[in-house]
Amino acid sequence: MASLHDEESRQRRFIEKLPKVELHAHLNGSISQQTIQRLIVLRRQRDPSWNSSCENATLESRSKTLADCFAVFSLLHDLVDNEEAASIVTNDVIREFAQDDNVKYIELRTTPRAMPATGMTKESYVRAVLSAMRKSEEDITVRLLLAIDRRTSIEDAADTLEMADRLRKETNGLVIGLDLSGDPTKPAEKFIPILKEAKKRGLKLALHIAEVNNMTDESRALLSVPPDRIGHGVFLHPDHGGNAQLLRLTHGPKIPIEICLTSNVTSGTVKVIQDHCFSQWRLIGHPCILCTDDKGVFSTSLNEEYILAAKEFHLSFEELWDLSLQSIDSIFESKEFKTELKAKFLSAKERCFS
């Protein structure tokens, strides 16, 4: 009889071979330790007296509050303060998702950010990211969402919409839409007219909704835009701090939910993984996509997220396969693209199960 250890090894090997899509990855939250070390060396060449707390604070402690996470983002932003760094980060994050997690399609998201001290503008930052995306030689398709930070002003958010609209046309669809993220306790209803305008112009919307509890009114308003995908959605289901109306607004139009298990447990929005609403949504056949959120900050990977889901929610190999394949339905691409990507996944199925 196979031991538990043998079973776990078999499951890990299966998941490693599984082709995947990643639809919720914040660029700067996805930076690996190796890349951080590389950026620190580069920064010290430029400024020998520069002292970073990244080495100590960023990735050491595993258990964080949401506030801790946001402190880490500030440290990372301090490190990625010029176009070269943005390009290195983009290149490394894409390579790691492609090579380590067998991701075949990824939608990265990042907040346009200026750094007056180095001359980096919001646009030169985004262009550096786009240029690194284009240069990637990995076997992976990469798209970009520009993020609106909840802490920002309406004017800034409007600028981001204009930039996304312009760059989508200019890059022939490398930029595909907008994300709404940032401190989830900060109100976001003021951005609704901008989000509606974005939809009107054909941009896709992936909005962080109900990442924290007690945001019922805001969640209802954001769901009514409506978004094309929901980030987190931890407190929408009636059994998890939501209510029947939020369930209807989410499940009626089947708005896919980007599930970030490790992120939610580590940042404390979900106490224990078994309590995660993922199981409730699965039970009613709601489209869910496993995602990493910030693989660097949370020391995870997409493989680890699948392993965690398999273990905690008792998913069979077939169920894991279906979960990955069905994620393709939720990508921001054309029908034809989805059909081709599914064919690519299906051609890898036999090898996966062997």
Active site residues: 211
Contact between 195 and ligand 6MZ per CB under 6 A: no
Which residues, 6 or more positions from 213, have their beta carbon under 8 angstroms from its beta carbon?
234, 235, 241, 269
Contact between 147 and ligand 6MZ per CB under 6 A: yes
Q: Are 246 and 236 in contact (CB under 8 A)?
A: yes
One of 11, 32, 35, 110 touching ligand 6MZ (CB under 6 A): 110
3-state secondary structure of 160: helix
The span from the CA of 152 to the CA of 180, in Å, is: 11
Closest CA to 178 of 190, 196, 152, 153: 196
Q: Are 25 and 97 in contact (CB under 8 A)?
A: yes
3-state secondary structure of 349: helix
One of 90, 111, 160, 262 touching ligand 6MZ (CB under 6 A): 111
Nearer to ligand 6MZ, 11 or 30 (CB): 30
Is the backbone of residue 162 left (phi > 0), alpha (psi -120 to 50) or beta?
Answer: alpha
Position 116: which residue type? P
Q: How far is the CB of 211 from ligand 6MZ (least distance, A)?
A: 6
Contact between 324 and ligand 6MZ per CB under 6 A: no
Closest CA to 20 of 339, 334, 326: 326
Contact between 292 and ligand 6MZ per CB under 6 A: no
Contact between 101 and ligand 6MZ per CB under 6 A: no
Nearer to ligand 6MZ, 110 or 327 (CB): 110
One of 58, 87, 91, 267 touching ligand 6MZ (CB under 6 A): 267
Nearer to ligand 6MZ, 149 or 165 (CB): 149
One of 15, 54, 69, 130 touching ligand 6MZ (CB under 6 A): 69
Position 3: which residue type? S
Provide the token pair at 72: 């880490």
The span from the CA of 119 to the CA of 83, in Å, is: 9
Nearer to ligand 6MZ, 35 or 110 (CB): 110
The span from the CA of 251 to the CA of 244, in Å, is: 10
One of 208, 220, 229, 286 touching ligand 6MZ (CB under 6 A): 208
The span from the CA of 340 to the CA of 247, in Å, is: 32
Q: How far is the CB of 78 from ligand 6MZ (least distance, A)?
A: 11
The span from the CA of 27 to the CA of 83, in Å, is: 14
Closest CA to 37 of 20, 22, 58, 23: 58
Q: Are 200 and 227 in contact (CB under 8 A)?
A: no
Contact between 27 and ligand 6MZ per CB under 6 A: yes
Nearer to ligand 6MZ, 182 or 233 (CB): 182
Contact between 73 and ligand 6MZ per CB under 6 A: yes
Piece of 181-189, 190-198, 222-230, 234-242 that binds ligand 6MZ (CB under 6 A) = 181-189
Q: Are 106 and 69 in contact (CB under 8 A)?
A: no
One of 39, 103, 107, 184 touching ligand 6MZ (CB under 6 A): 184
- Number of residues in contact with ligand 6MZ under rule CB under 6 A: 19
Piece of 21-29, 119-127, 239-247, 277-285 that binds ligand 6MZ (CB under 6 A) = 21-29
One of 181, 292, 301, 330 touching ligand 6MZ (CB under 6 A): 181
Q: Which residues bind ligand 6MZ (CB under 6 A)?
A: 26-29, 69, 73, 110-111, 147, 149, 181-182, 184, 208, 211, 263, 267, 293-294
